[in-house]
Structure 1
Amino acid sequence: MSVLIELAVGDPRAGTRHVSLADADAIAAAATELGAAGLRLLDRADDRLATDPSVAGAYLAGRHDGLAYVIDASTTNNAPYNLARRVLSFDRATGRGVGLVLRPGSGDEVSDAVVPDTTATDSAERWLEYARILSGLWASFPADALLGDQEAAIVADDSRIRPIDHEGRFYRVAGPLDGPATTRGLPTTVVADAAALGWGRVAAVADTVIVELDDIDGADGALTAALEAAGRRRADVTLLVRVDGDVDPAGLRARSSDAGTDGFVVAPTGDAESIADAVRRLVPALASPAGVPA
């Protein structure tokens, strides 16, 4: 089974899950050696902001290219075009692909200034519209549209680059993005708020779903049913269970297997050494050698 390590990079004095960039670097090195699939980098923890995950992730990816990276961001204060561009730039830089945990929230000052429907307030509906905009933007400049043909003086085939011209209840976004996707495919959409969003919305867009350990029972069945209703296959979506650093790995593997999950997000707390100890204890016991997050 695949294992992601959850970290919040920032001032260690900010809470029990924040680690310095240097400590995150050491934890990433250990995670790589022990067979973890990748890192999930939070944008906030313990009600305190962390270093922008795309910035911290860019540094770590430059040093640990054997890991996949999943970064958190909220709809709040993030205009869809800007976030799509930032994630795709990070995706191109990693060489391994990037996942985005899009969290539901409110809007941003750029989008709110031209909101199509001022009565639209439901955060779950906002989230779904936002997630679909991201997917559209990431696909708006296909990798093979970038030609770089010096002899013909053609940079890109602009007939392949299409604006999304989206106008919904919450957002107006024309697009396209100004840089291409990678040949690996598009960034993956990761959902960590299924209970708040509803399985129907999750199934419409998710590539990976993270559930808490307390919610593991029935999650596979709910996801499977919602995917079937959306015309999708359960095999195409990864289901991960998030656990703290104090779990018994043998019991967790057995419970997870019975529940139909595909892997783990290990979210230890404490100082950097406590987090590193949890990584050293849990990753070898939980990880499969070839695990990937999505």
Structure 2
Amino acid sequence: MTRTIVLDLAVGSSRSAADAIEIAAVARDTGVTAVRLLDGDPDDVLDTTVVAAHLAGRFPESHWIVDAPTTHNAPYNLARRVLSLDRATGGRTGLALRAGDGDEVSEATVPDRTATARHRRWAEYAGVLTGLWESFPAAALLGDQATGVFAESTLIKPIDHEGRFYRVAGPLDGPSSPQGRPVLVADARDDLDWADVVAKADAVVVSRAQAPEAAARLAEAFERVGRRRADIAVLGRVELPADDTTAERTATRLADWAERYDFDGLELVPTGDHDRLLALLRALVPRLGPSGGATLRAALGLPEPIGAGS
């Protein structure tokens, strides 16, 4: 059985850009479905969208998930950056939106200054992102030189969002991507409302500690929201062992764990030094039977997003 295999990668003080290139090459060669570029302290980690653009130029057939928190990221600016990356990579990009605080741009016009709950901010932010990503459908882009018409303006619609945390008019200034819009990933470690995850996200990452309760919580959320299980990819997050001596046994154990909790795949967290990580990836990943596809959405086995073709 093929599964989604996502590899975590933090580029900065702990792993250099040169190391990242070597890891990304092995990830490509072993069939890793996507590389998730982790965000963190600016002194420790480079901007994930910049790193993704750099790596995607070298490995155009690979898929990328960039981390970004709500903190210090205005929704319009982040939506534009990620969609630009998604178009540049031919629909091979996703965003893992992390729950956080606000940003300097949005705080200047925040509708409700008493609103502070991070999980509520995440839900509103996620809705703004998807609205913006679908505000300029690809069908609107005409580029008709004979008539001089660049786009069908009636298809481009502002989202005119006004919520507790954000005011965003939109639309974006560029069309949707080959996969409709970037894949939106939720991380359950952020203590999000499961109903918000099911309603807003295309994929969710569940930690080992959360695994026993995830199936029941998700089932309840699917019933509340009215979406199908097949609409979302559920990934189990697990640390890799520090060596490559038990790759076959580790692959069997991870596959059994994923099946037990009905995960669609795994997110692998590297441990150990650089050379051992490369050896382990070469030994382990092919045994897990990773999935692939022309776009990240296809590689995750996800349906086309509602509204993407309108």
TM-score, reference length from structure 1: 0.93
Partner of 1:159, secondary structure, is: helix
Q: Which amino acid aligns with 1:257?
A: E
- Counterpart in the other structure of 1:271: 273
Aligned to 2:192: 197
In 2: Cα distance, 1:84 partner to 1:290 partner: 25
Residue in structure 1 matching 2:210, options 212, 215, 226: 215
Task: Please point out which of 135, 145, 152 is paired with 2:147.
Answer: 152
Write the mapping of 1:56-205 to structure 2, written as runs, cut at 5 A: 56-193=51-188, 196-205=191-200
Q: Distance in 2 between matches of 1:290 and 1:107?
A: 35
Provide Cα deviations, 1:25-82, integer angstroms capped at 9, x if missing partner.
111111111111110001127x954111111101111111222111100000000000
CA deviation map 1:106-156 (0-9, x unaligned):
100100010011111111111100000000000111111111000000111
Contact 1:224-1:233 within 8 A present in 2 as well: no
- Asked if the contact 1:75/1:106 (under 8 Å) is kept, the reply is yes
SS in 1 for 2:198: helix
In 2, the alpha carbon distance for the partners of 1:104 and 1:197 equals 8
What letter corresponds to residue 32 of structure 2 in structure 1? A
Q: Structure 2: how far apart are the matches of 1:170 and 1:187?
A: 22
Asked whether the 8 Å contact 1:145–1:160 carries over to 2, the reply is yes
Q: CA deviation at 1:213?
A: 1.7
5+ residue gaps, structure 2, are 243-249, 294-298, 303-310
SS at 2:8's partner residue? strand
Letter in 1 for 2:54: Y
- Residues of 2 paired with 1:220 and 1:48: CA distance? 37
Contact 1:23 1:272 in 2 (8 A): yes
Shift of 1:272: 2.3
Residue aligning to 1:28:
24
Residue 254 (structure 2) aligns with: 252
For the 8 Å contact 2:62–2:92, the answer to whether it is kept is no
What secondary structure sits across from 2:67 in the alignment?
A: strand
The worse-fitting range, judged by mean Cα deviation, of 147-156 and 175-184 is 175-184
Which residue does 2:290 correspond to in 1? 288
SS at match of 1:39: strand
Q: Is 1:81–1:137's contact at 8 Å kept on the other side of the alignment?
A: yes
Cα distance in 2 for partners of 1:131, 1:228 equals 20
Aligned-pair CA distance for 1:185: 0.9
Report the secondary structure of 2:121's partner residue.
helix
How much identity, in percent, do the aligned residues show?
48
Matches within 5 A, 1:226-265: 226-246=221-241, 248-265=250-267
The aligned amino acid for 1:27 is I
Q: The residue matched to 1:242 in structure 2 has which SS? A: strand
Deviates more, 1:237-246 or 1:214-223: 214-223
CA distance in 2, matches of 1:49, 1:107: 21
CA–CA distance in structure 1, aligned partners of residues 190 and 213 of structure 2: 12
Aligned length: 287
Partner in structure 2 of residue 15 of structure 1: none
How far apart are 1:228 and its partner, in Å? Answer: 2.1
1:40 alignment counterpart: 36
TM-score where L is the length of structure 2: 0.88
Are positions 1:4 and 2:6 aligned together? yes
- Please give the alpha-carbon distance, in whole angstroms, between the structure 2 residues aligned to 1:27 and 1:197: 31
Q: What's the CA shift for 1:11? A: 2.3
2:246 paired residue number: none
CA distance in 1, matches of 2:229, 2:85: 28
2:91–2:177: 8 Å Cα contact kept in structure 1? no
